[in-house]
Amino acid sequence: MTAAIAVGVLTAGGVFLILRPGLIRITMGFVLLGHAANILLLASGGLNRRQAPLVGTGNPDRMADPLPQAFVLTALVITFGITVYLLGLARAQQRESDPEQGSCGAPTERGR
Amino acid sequence: MTAQHLLGHALAALGTGLVALAALGLLRLPDAYNRINAVSKAAALGVSLVLLAVLFLMPTPTTATVLLLGTALQLLTSPFGAYAAGRAAYRSGSPLTAATHRDDLRDHE
Amino acid sequence: MTVIDILLGTLTAAMAVAVWQMATGPTDADRVVALDLGFVVFVAAIALLAVRLHTPAVLILVLVATLVGFLATVAVAHLLERRS
Amino acid sequence: MSRRLSTRLRRAAVRCLRAPGFLGHFSRLFLLANVTVAREIITPGSTLAPAIVELRLRSRTPLEIAILAHLITLTPGTLVLEVRTRTTPPALFVHGMHAADPDLFLTRLGDLENRLLAVMRPHGGYRP
Amino acid sequence: MTGTVLALPVAVPLLAAGALLAVGGRRTVHRLTAMAVHAGVLLLGVALVNATTDGTVFVQNIGSWPPGIAIVLAADTLSALMLSVSALLALLATAFAAATADDGSPLFTPLALVLSAGVYGAFLTTDLFNLFVFVEVMLVPSYALLTQAGGTRRGSAARIYVTTSLLASTLLLAGVALVYGVTGTVSLAELAGAAQHSRAAALACSVVLLALATKAAVVPLHGWLPRTYPAAPPAVVVLFSGLLTKVAVYATMRVYALVFNGTGLRWVFMAAALLTMAAGVLGAVGEQAMKSILCFHMVSQIGYILLGIALFTPAGLAAAIFFQVQYVLVKAALLTCAGAVETTHRTDRLDRLGNLARQDPLLAAAFMAAALSLAGLPPLSGFVAKLGLIRAAASTTDYLALATAIAVSFFTLVSMIKIWEGAFWGEPTARAASTARPVPPPPRERTSERMALALPAVVLAAPSLLLGIQAQPLLTASAAAADGLINTSAYVRAVGR
Amino acid sequence: MSAHGGVLVAALAAMGALAMLTPLLERFLGRNAGYALGAGFVAVAVLLGSVAPRALAGGDVSVSWPWMPSLGVSFTLRLDGLASLFCLLVLGVGALIMAYCPRYLPAHVRHRSFYAMLTLFGGTMLGLVLAGDLVLLFVFWEGTTVLSFFLISTTGTAAARPAVRALLVTGLGGLALLGAVVLLAVAAGTTDIAAVLAAREQVADSAVAPAAAALLILAAFTKSAQVPFHFWLPGAMVAVTPVSAYLHAATMVKAGIYLLLRFSALYAGQPGWSLTLTGVGLVTAVLGAAQALREHDLKALLAYSTVSQLGLLVAAIGVGTTVALAAAILHTFAHALFKATLFMLIGILDKEAGSRDIRELSGLMRVMPVTATLTGLAGLSLAGVPPLIGFVSKESLFQGFTSTHILPGANWVAGALAVTASALTFAYGMRIFYGAFAGPTLQRQLYEPAWAFLAPAAAAAAASLVLGPAVTVLNPLMRRAVLDTEPWAKPPYFSFWHGLSVELLMSAITIACGMALFVARNRVDSALQQLPHLGGTVLFDRGYRATLRFGAMLGRPDRSDSVAAFLARPVAGVVVLGLASGLLIGRTPSVAGPHPPLGDWGVLALLAATVGSLVAMRSTPAAVALLGTVGLVVTVWFVIAGGPDVALTLLLVEVLTAVVAAFVLRGLPTRFARSRRRSAAAAAALAVSAGLVATAGTLALTGRRDVSPVGEFFLRAAEPQTGGRNVVNTILVDFRGLDTLGEASVLAAAALGLLLLLPGTRRDSPPGGLPAAPYGQVLGPAYHMLVPVIVLLSLYLLLRGHNEPGGGFIGALVAGTTVALGHLAGGRRLLRPLGGALLAAGLLLASTVGLSPMALGKPFLTPVKVPLPGGARLSSSLLFDLGVYLLVLGLMTTAMDRLGAEEGERR
Ligand code: NA
Ligand code: NA
């Protein structure tokens, strides 16, 4: 129940953000959607068993399904790579749209 | 409940109390500088106390290592955030509360 | 309900305050402070959760968080400063 | 044993002897400051008297300055807002929550610096 | 041959990418390495096609773990066919990139190699989550390749491409999660028939299919493709055209065949197929530049393949598979022509081009052959493909599908002739002075360069004629592949526990 | 394969070979290659003639090879009477045209491709009439369409539009034929034409029969230029004369007639078929003739004449009686003869006199007697004047039309319309004749062309003249052809003189009316000019442009620059899927378990508050902070859910994302752009719907089963099988290493993408050393203390990952923070120039470790233990993890290098 609501909240927030203008907000939306997918993945293994799947630390019958966790780790890292790339894209396009800043090379003196 | 547990819980409560106090400070203090002043430090002590509490509640060598290292790191790193936040607040023009009676930094500019 | 549960509830409230401050400001500097507090609350909460869940393995998060957590605050503060 | 080595050893020993004292002093300061700030938050009304003061430093090396700034910032109620190393002398701009008397406030900070330098400069001498 | 070789198409490109990154510089080394890798995969693919037409399924349990635990790679005829045609395309795209100098960056070849590793892996894997991973391995380099060069227009195309793909990937991941939530497995073999037994499994897989439909640019989820592909450098479009959406279509076939046993959702597939065919071709007709027209066509052609899936008869599937294989080559040939034109004349806009048939007869011939094949004119491969599909539709009395397929062929012809008339035949209608760029640089005059640019187009167009006249071998292979989709038991037995 | 059938293949192959040889012939003979090609056509005709007697005797002359057995398609050629007749036309007229070309084509210009295409066209046409398989028929049919397009195009740029119109109209018909072919094949269960025709009953009874008929008719109408598809044919007259004469008068346009004749056996006598063909055919005949009469350009006149004559043929086939079919067959032959003649002669006139205006054609007899005679003869044959063959065929047509009994009185209507069309035809035929023989000579400086130029036309004209009285010679061919269209028929004998009959009366009326029209030609002309043009071109062009506009409109949404426009659709798809399936899924009970702990709700409340604040936030620093906080809350969720590895990874990812985002945002405005309220509301509505669907989907599809078998396996077997106690990590590096290799490759690609996207230079830093670090004074000294701690922690996490939370990814992410720290603290920018090398090393290491077991014959990524000196063993999974570590570190250094620098710094 709580997982489902969490997925819903994150999905709604993520969708709202990816439908806004501006690549940064869209990127943030995708981060939220990534969280939603990851919580969904964990939920897909069932949330009744919640012990960390570390052999020797407890009863295997109470341990969480480890496979979705492996999936989440994989997905998480992929999402991270793409997020960084999206931010790079935002940086590249910002440089493009602002030739003054992008190419003349004078260090900005703001804040001094 | 052993004395060790009791002590652990007491420390945990104290630490949590400090953290909560910091949160309260966030609401009560008048400007960003005072908030920074209150929050990061109180929280640093609070966290250190909580970590110490955990050591009492789950005493193993690994826990001890992790927690002592963690406490040290907490004390080492929390001022960085505070300094950066304070400097940024000033440079970004975050207003000082009216009660601020002296500002050498402005005179210096 | 144990003492730890109550303390975790307190931390939840503290985090809510941090979120509130992040949302309302009023200045971006106040928001940075709130983020800093958020990290602190997080570390404390993880430490208490480790006790609550009887999972010492979780404590590695505390170590990592104390080691690198300040980076987020510093980076956001830096962002604020550059854009003033 | 060369003279140089013996000097270094002596200084290290001095450091080791003075450090616990400094740590104790700072811990007391730290805890008291925590109490002060906690009281400020809990009690209704305000006793705040904030000020930003320029603290001219005796410290010279980056390490000395960094540690001092770090300790000041770690202490509740005081916060370093700006570090000036290119000026002579170097200066810290410190925000204090309870600095109704700025001179007293500066004196206390100066005291902390002196104690710190006493640990870090075992020869005790001033550097120009 | 044993299943052990199945990991090579994934591992070797990655190894080569790492090696090329390590040695740096030397373009020739990069080109030759990539070509050798793709040629190797091509040979392997053809050998696999030969060895699987009798129904054999080659499998490899990665890491030697038991089936059900291990990720299993498997090759049946369908996988082998897709592997072969992708490798061929990657090989020729590499050559074309050399000709257009799109591979100028020392990172181009490593990225293209990682991309192809993802494509090859997606064709071989039998595990839904692993499919998601390989799709990402394919997509992330594609982001880099699409966005490598600047330009405002390209910038917004890059944003749209990356974000749409990312959304589809997230949806795919959610779908995989739901499948695991319902069934407790992500192995396709264990999922076989699941949708028939459980509505929940069917719904979970529908999410996967929806994500794949977005990636395959099925109408109405297609808009991103015609909007973004034309912004990519010529060689990159060629590479994309044959690989990216095809992976999604392949996966759709596989999932629908295994999990749904080809039943249920028929009208959804049919409606999507017809809409995609029609909207794609009409959109193509309305475009004004070579690459834009061709890219919109990709949408339409996806519709044809979907039609075969919707029919889900041996004839329909075989036709769809034949269609897909030949189409990869035809479309690549067309895009290669467009790319050659763009490289030579610095534009692919029809109103700024003209008279290319005189200047470049070889290129014009290659274009025309491929264009007519795309329109389904005999004796080219596109004709055989459409004949098969139309015949399959007629056999199941899907006359609306038959009529749509024929009508779409007509509009395909219209759009191809629009290019012919606009670029190859008449005169430019817009004056160079009115273009955004101040003065277009003089076209490349060196014959050898032109030959190098036209050659890949010719090499890609030639099989179209060959596959039209001598269609039976590929038809046989397609039939075997279709049989593997209809009778999934051999696949399930080979892959499963 | 029978020897007879072999001849057919040989004939077709010979045509192909001839086309191949064309460049060679043209090289040595120049434009005179036409003679050689003509001879080749004749030779092929002779070759076919060797088996024709057998075909005309009703014997089977066919050959069949499997072509696409999967589709039931075979390469079948069959020569029967109908095919023989058309072969004769294709090769006979083809030979004449080829012989005509050398003198017509300009010298000193290459005609390689022209000759090749024309020869290829001959071969294709031959294939079309010989095709014994439906699909093969279609193949050759489309071949003629395409070749026609190219042959028209050879004229030059001006021909582009007409060529396109011709291609599209006939191409449309071709696709209709494809539909018909497929429907017939499915209905009859075979693609063999003879078998389809033999299965008449079966086909006629099938539901698709009417559709197939309609499609066949559409195909024939477009190819044979029936109203309203006629317009492409006059347009195609921009082609050079040999093309007009061969393709657009004698052969290609007859393909439609051939098609109707071929399938007449299936449909003859059926009302729909008859009414359509007869009606459209006669209307076309009359309108075409009227239009021809008002044309002054001889070529246009002949084009409309062709349209009109084709209309008569179609109508006759529609009548479908034996006499009518016989008439159609004979007239097809006659028309080819005289129309080809006329085209060739007009080509000569055009070339010699420089004009094709019929008004300037007058009194030609005096200056060009031979040309004039030939033109006159062909004109008379066209007009249906005895003793030319045109007369005989027209008589038969009249006979055919009066034999119709589709509707009561239909024979009268058909006859009347035929007479009308013929009268008009007579009128313009007479104008041609008059221009040749009578009237004042307007151009006196003309000379007779060389005999070689005239000879082909002369031969055709002579045939028209001779074959009228000697029409009985054609009887064996014609009768056999009739039998092929109507196997049960008793075919008539053609003879020059039928005696006094209705047809003769009709001919008389025709000639009388036609004469009247001719005599009153000035008034008729001015009256006709008032009539609307028999257009179609305008309509077609309008439709064409409308299609382009419609397409452009359809694609407009996809030209948007707004990302939201593209992202909204898949989201809406999810919502629709959710709504659609909401009704389908019954609730299955969830697996019994404790209610979610209270903590869940606390975390959830925080999550909702944080997400809510984030979406409403317009300050960018605050958004970064809130995004990080969302990450923290989710991390806590993962801790509660029992995933310490996941939580640890997420924590690191969140911190690093915040740092990178902050670096990137430095160059951007501090506030997000405000957007229109309405679009925000729409986005919110979609977002809320998607959120609800996501919640419902999660509720419905998760938590309804016990732990999966594979999950159970991992929990029990991970340690015994791999020696690792951290089950999640064993899955990552041991059981599902392929996923991990894939995700590592993704990171490598993302890093390479950044390098490509943000090209930097080798020496970024200003000469005076590293740029001032923002927090150097405070962080700098600490940096040197922190880095060793971080690196140690990172390595510790890497090494212990197999047993406790950690591993390559986590370790590398920790190490990656040092790079970020370096940027803020201004210490050495650790590893920065190494980004590419780290990526290379990581990829190499991970893939090599994966591949190495294959050298031992074991599957990819099989874990191997390498013995080390000292008894220790190094697991290959650790090496694999190290590869992953290097890749993650590579990404971090690259990202910090390219994104961490100030805008001005990096140049
Ligand atoms: Na043009
Ligand atoms: Na043009």
The pLDDT of residue E179: 96
Q: Whose structure tokens read 């039209």?
A: E468
The pLDDT of residue F773: 62
Q: Give CA separation, F315 vs F216, F340, F754, in Å.
A: 15, 22, 71
**Could you tell me which residues are beta bridge partners of residue F131?**
F77
Residues of A with CB under 8 A from a CB of E: 18, 23, 26, 30, 33-34, 36-37, 40-41, 43-45, 67-68, 71, 74-75, 78, 81-82, 85-86, 89, 92-93, 96-97
Please name the residue of chain C whose CA is at the shortest distance from the CA of residue B88.
C81
Q: Crossing angle for the helix pair F209-223 and F134-153, nearest 10 degrees? A: 20
Tell me the nearest-neighbour CA distance from E206 into chain F, angstroms. 8
Tell me the nearest-neighbour CA distance from C38 into chain F, angstroms. 7
Instruction: Provide the chain C residues 31-50 that lie in CB contact (below 8 A) with chain F.
Output: 31-32, 34-35, 38-39, 42, 45-46, 49
Residues from chain F that touch B73, judged by Cβ atoms under 8 A, are: 789
The pLDDT confidence band at residue A91, using thresholds 50, 70 and 90, is confident
pLDDT, tens digit, 9 for 90 and up, residues F821-853: 887 776 555 555 677 889 999 999 999 998 988
Secondary structure, 3-state, A35-62:
HHHHHHHHHHCCCCCCECCECCCCCHHH
The pLDDT of residue F907: 33
Overall number of domains in chain C: 1
Q: Whose structure tokens read 């709202």?
A: A16
| Cβ-defined contact of B84 to F775 (cutoff 8 Å) | yes
Please name the residue of chain F whose CA is at the shortest distance from the CA of residue B78.
F779
Instruction: Provide the chain D residues 72-111 that lie in CB contact (below 8 A) with chain F.
Output: 73, 80, 83, 85
Looking at all shown ligands, the one closest to residue E426's CA atom is 2
Secondary structure, 3-state, E446-462:
CHHHHHHHHHHHHHHHH
Distance separating alpha carbons of residues E82 and E69, to the nearest angstrom: 26
Domain that holds residue B36: 3-90
Cis peptide before E379 (omega within 30 of 0): yes
| Cβ-defined contact of A16 to F568 (cutoff 8 Å) | no
* All residues at 6 or more sequence positions from D17 whose CB lies less than 8 Å from its CB, including other chains: none
- CA F741 to centroid of ligand 2, rounded, Å: 50
Please name the residue of chain C whose CA is at the shortest distance from the CA of residue B78.
C70
**3-class SS at E27?**
helix
The pLDDT of residue E436: 42
Residue B73, chain F, CB below 8 Å: the answer is yes
- Provide long-range contacts, Cβ within 8 A and 24+ apart, for F525-533: F525/F293, F525/F294, F528/F290, F528/F293, F528/F294, F529/F294, F531/F290, F531/F294, F533/F291
Q: Contact at 8 Å (CB) between F245 and F347?
A: yes
The pLDDT of residue A109: 32
Residues from chain A that touch F750, judged by Cβ atoms under 8 A, are: 81-82, 84-85
- CA F70 to centroid of ligand 2, rounded, Å: 42
DSSP state of E127: B
- CA E340 to centroid of ligand 1, rounded, Å: 16
- Amino acid at residue number F523: R
The pLDDT of residue A108: 33
Higher pLDDT, F116 or F581: F116
Distance separating alpha carbons of residues F142 and F130, to the nearest angstrom: 15
The pLDDT confidence band at residue F769, using thresholds 50, 70 and 90, is very low
CB half-sphere exposure, E68, CA atoms < 13 A: 13
> What residues are neighbours of ligand 1 (ion), with CB under 5 Å?
E 350, 353-354, 422, 428
Two tokens, residue E478: 């397609």
Distance separating alpha carbons of residues E194 and E202, to the nearest angstrom: 7
The pLDDT confidence band at residue F88, using thresholds 50, 70 and 90, is very high
pLDDT higher than 60, residue F877:
yes
pLDDT, tens digit, 9 for 90 and up, residues B42-69: 778 899 999 999 999 998 888 898 889 9
Tell me the nearest-neighbour CA distance from F163 into chain A, angstroms. 46
Q: What is the CA radius of gyration of chain B?
A: 18
Q: Give CA separation, E321 vs E297, E401, F182, F226, in Å.
A: 18, 17, 19, 39
Domain that holds residue C34: 3-83
Query: Backbone phi, then psi, for F110, in 5-degree steps?
Result: -75, 135
Task: Report domain extents, chain F.
Answer: 268-559, 563-706, 714-907
The pLDDT of residue B90: 92
Q: Whose structure tokens read 């020993």?
A: D13
**Could you tell me which residues are beta bridge partners of residue D79?**
D95
Q: Which residues of chain E have pLDDT under 70?
A: 1, 149-153, 430-446, 497
The pLDDT of residue A100: 35
The pLDDT of residue F445: 79
Two tokens, residue F439: 């009237």
CB half-sphere exposure, F200, CA atoms < 13 A: 15
Query: Backbone phi, then psi, for F144, in 5-degree steps?
Result: -65, -35
Lowest mean pLDDT among A55-64, F313-322, F359-368: F359-368
The pLDDT of residue D123: 65
- Name which of F688, F705, F728 is nearest A73 (Cβ-Cβ): F728
* All residues at 6 or more sequence positions from E464 whose CB lies less than 8 Å from its CB, including other chains: E326, E329, E330, E333, E369, E370, E373, E380, E381, E382
The pLDDT of residue F114: 94
Residues from chain F that touch B79, judged by Cβ atoms under 8 A, are: 778
Q: Whose structure tokens read 């604040």?
A: F613
Residues from chain E that touch F146, judged by Cβ atoms under 8 A, are: 372, 377
- CA E222 to centroid of ligand 1, rounded, Å: 28
Percentage of chain F exceeding pLDDT 70: 95
The pLDDT of residue E441: 46
Residues from chain E that touch F581, judged by Cβ atoms under 8 A, are: 203, 206
DSSP state of E398: -
The pLDDT confidence band at residue F677, using thresholds 50, 70 and 90, is confident
Cis peptide before E220 (omega within 30 of 0): yes
Q: Contact at 8 Å (CB) between F305 and F425?
A: yes
Q: Do at least 3 CB pairs under 8 Å connect D with C? A: no
Q: Whose structure tokens read 């008002």?
A: F294
Residues from chain F that touch A26, judged by Cβ atoms under 8 A, are: 563, 567
Q: Contact at 8 Å (CB) between F309 and F335?
A: yes
**Could you tell me which residues are beta bridge partners of residue E58?**
E75
Distance separating alpha carbons of residues E89 and E84, to the nearest angstrom: 9
Q: Write the DSSP assignment of F22-48 as a string of letters.
A: HHHHHHHHGGGHHHHHHHHHHHHHHHH
Q: Is residue B106 part of a domain?
A: no
Q: Which of A49-63, E244-258, F147-161 has maximum average pLDDT?
A: E244-258
Tell me the pTM: 0.94
Distance separating alpha carbons of residues E482 and E368, to the nearest angstrom: 31
**3-class SS at E72?**
strand
Residues from chain B that touch D38, judged by Cβ atoms under 8 A, are: 18, 21, 42
Residue D69, chain F, CB below 8 Å: the answer is yes
Two tokens, residue F642: 């029992």
| Cβ-defined contact of D50 to B100 (cutoff 8 Å) | yes
* All residues at 6 or more sequence positions from F546 whose CB lies less than 8 Å from its CB, including other chains: none
Two tokens, residue F762: 């080798």
| Backbone dihedral region for residue F181 (phi beyond 0: left; psi -120 to 50: alpha; all else: beta) | alpha
DSSP state of F734: I
Nearest in space to E58 (alpha carbons), one of E45, E70, E42: E45
Nearest in space to F393 (alpha carbons), one of F401, F404, F402, F384: F384
Tell me the nearest-neighbour CA distance from B108 into chain C, angstroms. 19
Higher pLDDT, F358 or E72: E72
Most C-contacting residue of F635, F636, F902 (CB-CB within 10 A), to test interface: F636
Nearest-5° Cα angle at F250, F244 to F253 = 85
Alpha helices (H) along E287-423: 290-311, 314-345, 356-359, 361-374, 381-395, 399-419
Residue A56, chain C, CB below 8 Å: the answer is no
Q: Contact at 8 Å (CB) between F397 and F316?
A: yes
| Cβ-defined contact of C32 to F636 (cutoff 8 Å) | no
* All residues at 6 or more sequence positions from E314 whose CB lies less than 8 Å from its CB, including other chains: E479, E482, E483, E486
Q: Which residues of chain B have pLDDT under 50?
A: none
Overall number of domains in chain B: 1
Model ipTM value = 0.94
Q: Write the DSSP assignment of D94-125 as a string of letters.
A: EEESB-SSHHHHHHHHHHHHHHHHHHH-TT-P
Q: What is the mean pLDDT of chain F?
A: 89
| Cβ-defined contact of E200 to F858 (cutoff 8 Å) | no
Q: What is the H or E stretch that residue F73 is in?
A: strand F73-79
**3-class SS at F372?**
helix
The pLDDT of residue F356: 85
Distance separating alpha carbons of residues E320 and E401, to the nearest angstrom: 14
Alpha helices (H) along F50-131: 52-56, 81-104, 112-130
Looking at residues D10-26, what average pLDDT do you find?
A: 85
Q: Contact at 8 Å (CB) between E136 and E118?
A: yes
pLDDT, tens digit, 9 for 90 and up, residues F776-803: 778 878 888 888 899 999 999 998 888 8
Tell me the nearest-neighbour CA distance from E351 into chain F, angstroms. 14
pLDDT higher than 80, residue F328:
yes
- CA F549 to centroid of ligand 2, rounded, Å: 18
pLDDT higher than 60, residue D1:
no
Burial of F597 (0-12, 13-18, 19+ CB in 10 A): middle
Tell me the nearest-neighbour CA distance from F776 into chain D, angstroms. 9
* All residues at 6 or more sequence positions from E465 whose CB lies less than 8 Å from its CB, including other chains: E369, E373, E379, E380, E381
Nearest in space to F894 (alpha carbons), one of F780, F747, F784: F747
The pLDDT of residue F596: 66
- CA F516 to centroid of ligand 2, rounded, Å: 49
